Structure 1
Amino acid sequence: MAELVKIYEDNPNQKELARIAKAMKNGALVIYPTDTVYGLGCDITNKTALEKVARIKGVKLEKANFSFICEDLSNLSDYVSQIDSNTFKILKRNLPGPYTFILPGNNNLPTVFKKKKTVGIRVPDNKIATELVRLLGNPIISTSIKDEDEVIEYTTDPSLIVEKWEHLVDYVIDAGYGGNVGSTIIDLTGDEPVLIREGKGSTEL
């Protein structure tokens, strides 16, 4: 049964976030706010939790295109291979922000993602999300939560989210209404940035 936890982004309750981060270390699944839509996430190092997320999304874990939610760009080299200064400037200019940047992965990726050549990096402009990552001590694997209704597309109301997901996740962080436009996805693995999906972030980099 999912627990609904009210946390305000302006001044996130550290005690509550630390409690949730500790549960995530032990495999808990959490729905949490970002600067775009609510996301479903778990600890990147917990294989059992990763498999649960993949099962919920109906994909094979090794083929899943999950984003890595990071606190900032300082840990980039943990999972991303050498990037040029131009690419780094784009990242620095636009993060934190409503973007998912696809970058070349390196050999430090968690075992289940070893075969992947690329990784989607997110640094949301949302204190709850980045604090959760900081307290966890490593990135969160994340995927957005969608609604069956194509018109709505993303579920935005935490009380409805908990109703729908109560038997699938352990915590739903209620930070008020979420957005209904996903992040802008840009591939930075080639010579020029390639727009994969237009979302909340401007395509003018």
Structure 2
Amino acid sequence: MSKVLHIHPQNPQARLIEQAAAVVRDGGVIAYPTDSCYALGCAIDNKTGMETIRRLRRLDDNYHLTLVCRDLSEIALYAKVGNSAYRLLKSLTPGPYAFLLKATHEVPRRIQHAKRKTIGLRIPAHPIVQQLIEALGQPLMSSTLQLPGDDMPLNDIYDIEERLGGQIDLMIDGGPCGGEPTTVIDLESDTPVLVRQGLGPVPPGMLE
């Protein structure tokens, strides 16, 4: 069975965060809480881990995996961000949003959208994932923990353990999350486009 770490959602224990980071560094795939719902994650250079996430979720190459970043300074390393897009990012992060942006030339092709050469980026407002990324020193490659046939993401550690026990390396129990996927906004062009309305509210007129 997969290992389970019970980490306090507001005051994460540093030694447990380091244990989780070690699993990711060693090539593991983890389930972890965010400010919207639980997610699957692995290191950005973990090709096998990415394949595991795609297999568990039955995703093809045209589905965006998401780079979960610590702050806006990291986003600039992986995505081309214009002034208007930056202002929108700054107003909505950290929070339950994911953004689609043109990838920079430094981003490996395997983590870009196969056709559009875009990348999904996210800065969650959750102490566990924020401290995990800090400990790792790099973003997490991630995807919402919504399994094939389910209408909503998994949000209970016991359900996650029952469904995925033995198929991933670590599950972080941080208690229940928001229970809904992120709001997804496409910033590929000058005009932002709402791709999916999720947990994150979009103020009227913001995307005009």
> Using the alignment, how far apart are the partners of 2:75 and 2:45 within structure 1?
16
Mapped pair 1:57 → 2:57 = yes
Cα root mean square deviation, aligned: 1.7
8 Å Cα contact 2:57/2:146 also seen in 1:
no
Alpha-carbon distance in structure 1 between the residues aligned to 2:150 and 2:139: 30
Percent identity, aligned pairs only, is 32
Q: 1:39 aligned to 2:29?
A: no
- Matches of 1:128 and 1:30, distance apart in 2: 13
- 1:16 corresponding residue in structure 2: 16
Provide runs of 4+ in structure 1 moved above 6 Å.
none
Q: Name the structure 2 match of 1:200.
A: 199
Q: What is the TM-score with the length of structure 2 in the denominator? A: 0.90
**Structure 2 unaligned runs (5+)?**
none
Q: Does 1:112 align with 2:103?
A: no
| Cα distance in 2, alignment partners of residues 46 and 146 from structure 1 | 21
Contact conserved, 1:44 with 1:110, CA < 8 A, in 2?
A: no
Q: Show CA shifts across 1:119-151 (max 9, x none).
A: 111100101111111111111111111256655
State the 1:172 CA deviation.
0.8
The 5 Å alignment of 1:97-176 reads 97-113=95-111, 117-147=117-147, 150=150, 153-176=152-175
Tell me, in whole angstroms, the C-alpha distance in 2 between the residues paired with 1:103 and 1:134.
23
SS at match of 1:159: helix
Q: CA deviation at 1:76?
A: 1.5
Give per-residue Cα distances to partners, 1:12-64, cap 9 Å, x unaligned: 0111111111111111111000000100110011112122212222234x444
Q: What is the total number of aligned residue pairs between the two structures?
A: 202
Contact kept, 8 Å, 2:37 with 2:177, in 1: the verdict is: yes
Where in structure 1 are there 5+ consecutive unaligned residues?
none
1:71-108 deviation digits (Å, cap 9, x = unpaired):
11111121112x22111111011100010011111111
Q: Return the alpha-carbon distance in structure 2 between the equivalents of residues 92 and 144 of structure 1.
A: 22
Give TM-score scaled by structure 1 length: 0.92
